[in-house]
Amino acid sequence: MPDKLGGQSMAKLVAQPDVMEFIELILLQSMESVVLEEISLQKLATCFEGKSLIELDIRNTSGANIIGMKRKDNSYLINPVPETTLSPSDKLFALGTRTQIRQLINTITTSDTGA
C-alpha cells in the first residue's frame, strides 16, 4: 500500500504539481492554521440525526468544510452532496482551523456531562 500511494503521489506531482503543493501546505500547517480532522459522530446530538448537511449549514455556522465522510458500511463519500444526512455511525472529514473544527464539534455533538 505505501508503495502504491508513493507512486500515485509521484505521478500527481509530475502531472499537477500545484495540487501536491496545496495538499502539503494543508498537512504541514502550524497549530492554528488549516487542519484536516476526522470527527466521529458517535455523540451526534439527537436533534441532528437524519439531518442533511445543507440543513445544518455547517460552513456558515462553524467555518469548517466537510470534504468527506465514512459510512457505517465503511464506504467513503468524497465531497458529499448537501442532501447527505448524518448518522451516529458516520465519521466526518472536515477542513478548517482548529477553532472552526472545535466549533463544528461543539455544535453537532452532545457533551458527556458525567464525571
Q: Where are the alpha helices (DSSP H) in the chain?
A: 2-15, 17-27, 53-56, 58-62, 98-108
What's the confidence (pLDDT) of residue 12?
62
Q: Give CATH superfamily name and number for 31-115.
A: Regulator of K+ conductance, C-terminal domain (3.30.70.1450)
The residue ranges of every structural domain in the chain are 1-30, 31-115
What's the confidence (pLDDT) of residue 33?
78
What's the confidence (pLDDT) of residue 113?
43
